[in-house]
Amino acid sequence: MSSSYLWVKALHIVFVASWFAGLFYLPRIFVNLAMVAPDSHAERERLLLMARKLDRFATGLMVIALASGLWLWLGVGIGLGGPGNGWMHAKLTLVLGVLAFHHVNHRILGGFERSANRRTHTWFRVYNEVSVLLFAAIVVLVVVKPF
């Protein structure tokens, strides 16, 4: 393996982990937003500001994580073909799920900005666990490569 491959792989891991940190925390902010009293404008605005900044930052991390992952995948010629690459198909399917989760977070934030949220803080607590399950599944696929 070339030195550049190892550097890009290391950066990919850092940016994926950082992106997931944002995906773990943004739904937690949604929990707090869902619990804000209707007359607590300052608290609501502070949480919305935090959520907007985190959403923008996580989107930047996502772009770098995807670009580096694509470079690793195409640059090395791993591809999807051949025996033993079933784990890669599964991983890419989960990555699509993570992208969908990221998009849904962005839409939920827009709902909070428009004061259109109809979900409870309990719903957001359960929703928050989706990111943990996606992260765990991807790590297992990458490390164990079960198929």
Q: Is 91 annotated as belonging to a binding site?
A: yes
What is the three-class DSSP state of 87? Answer: helix
67 alpha-carbon distance from chain centroid: 15
Residue 70 token pair:
């694509």
Q: Is 121 annotated as belonging to a binding site?
A: no
Q: Is the dihedral of CA 45, 47, 51, 53 positive or negative?
A: positive
Q: Using alpha carbons, select from 51, 140, 47, 125 the residue that is nearest to residue 91.
A: 140
Residue 49 token pair:
């500001």
Q: Which residue positions form the known binding site for heme? A: 12, 91
